[in-house]
Amino acid sequence: MSKSFSSREKSRRKKQEVLQRLHEDFEPWKKSRQARYHAGSKSWSRLSNVHNDGEVIFRQFENNDGNGLKPFHKKLKSLSRTARISGTEEAHPVYRYPSAYLDAIIHLDDAEKWALEERRLDDDIIAEQPAPRRKVLEWLARPENEDVLMAMGDGGTDLWAHSEPGEGKTSFANVIGGVRMPEINNETLLWMLTLDELECLPLAPFMTIAVPEGVKYEVHAKPRNPTLPTVEIELTDVFRDTVEYSDPSDLMTKIVPGGLYAVLPDPLFRGCEQLTRATYTPAREADEPAEVTPLRDVNFAFLETRAKDDEFLHPTTMINDEFSDLVPLNPEADENDTNRKVKGWPVAQGKARKKNLSMINLSHSIARCDEGPREKNRWFVTMPNTPPPASSLSGIGNVPINMSYINKFADRKGRAVIWRNDNFAPIQWPNPYRRYRFRGEISVSYPRREEALDAL
What is the C-alpha separation between 210 and 444, in angstroms, rounded? 13
Q: What is the pLDDT of residue 417?
A: 96
Q: Apex CA 235: angle with CA 230 and CA 238, to 5°?
A: 80
Q: Apex CA 305: angle with CA 419 and CA 329, to 5°?
A: 50
CB–CB of 121/89 below 8 Å?
no
3-state secondary structure of 369: strand
DSSP-assigned beta bridge partners for residue 260: 189, 207
Among 449, 440, 448, residue whose Cα is nearest residue 197: 440
Q: How many helices (H) and strands (E) does the chain have?
A: 19, 13
> Residues 63, 67, 73, 74: is their CA dihedral positive or negative?
negative
Torsion of CA 437, 438, 441, 445, to 10 degrees: -130
Q: What is the pLDDT of residue 1?
A: 46
What is the C-alpha separation between 319 and 282, in angstroms, rounded? 24
From first to last of its 456 residues, the chain has per-residue pLDDT tens of: 455 767 788 888 999 999 999 999 999 999 999 999 999 977 999 999 999 999 999 998 877 666 678 999 999 999 999 999 999 999 999 999 999 999 999 999 999 999 999 999 999 999 999 999 999 999 999 999 999 999 999 999 999 999 988 899 999 999 999 999 999 999 999 999 998 879 999 999 999 999 999 999 999 999 999 999 999 999 999 999 999 999 999 999 999 999 999 999 999 999 999 999 999 999 999 999 999 999 999 999 999 999 999 999 999 999 999 999 999 999 999 999 999 999 999 999 999 999 999 999 999 999 999 999 999 999 999 999 999 999 999 889 899 999 999 999 888 889 999 999 899 999 999 999 887 889 999 999 999 999 999 999
Q: What is the pLDDT of residue 192?
A: 98
Which residues, 6+ apart, have CB-to-CB distance to 84 below 8 Å? 144
209-243 in b/e form (b: 16+ CB < 10 A) is: bbbbeebebebebebeeeebeebebebebbbbbbb
DSSP-assigned beta bridge partners for residue 3: none
Q: What is the pLDDT of residue 3?
A: 54
Number of Cα atoms under 13 Å in the Cβ half of residue 83: 20
CB–CB of 171/107 below 8 Å?
no
Long-range contact pairs involving 303-306 (C-beta distance under 8 Å, separation at least 24): 303/345, 303/348, 303/349, 303/352, 303/357, 304/248, 304/275, 304/276, 304/344, 304/348, 305/248, 305/249, 305/252, 305/271, 305/275, 306/252, 306/352, 306/355, 306/357
* 6: DSSP letter: H
Measured between alpha carbons, how far is residue 354 from residues 112, 313, 318, 400, 409 in Å? 15, 10, 14, 27, 33
Residue 238 identity: V
3-state secondary structure of 234: coil
Which residues, 6+ apart, have CB-to-CB distance to 114 below 8 Å? none
3-state secondary structure of 437: coil
What is the C-alpha separation between 375 and 427, in angstroms, rounded? 24
Which residues, 6+ apart, have CB-to-CB distance to 16 below 8 Å? none
Among 185, 202, 190, residue whose Cα is nearest residue 72: 185
Predicted TM-score of the model (pTM): 0.96
- A 10 A CB-CB count for 66 gives 8
- A 10 A CB-CB count for 286 gives 17
Q: Which CATH code for domain 33-48+153-455?
A: 3.40.50.300
Residue 60 identity: Q
What is the C-alpha separation between 318 and 303, in angstroms, rounded? 9
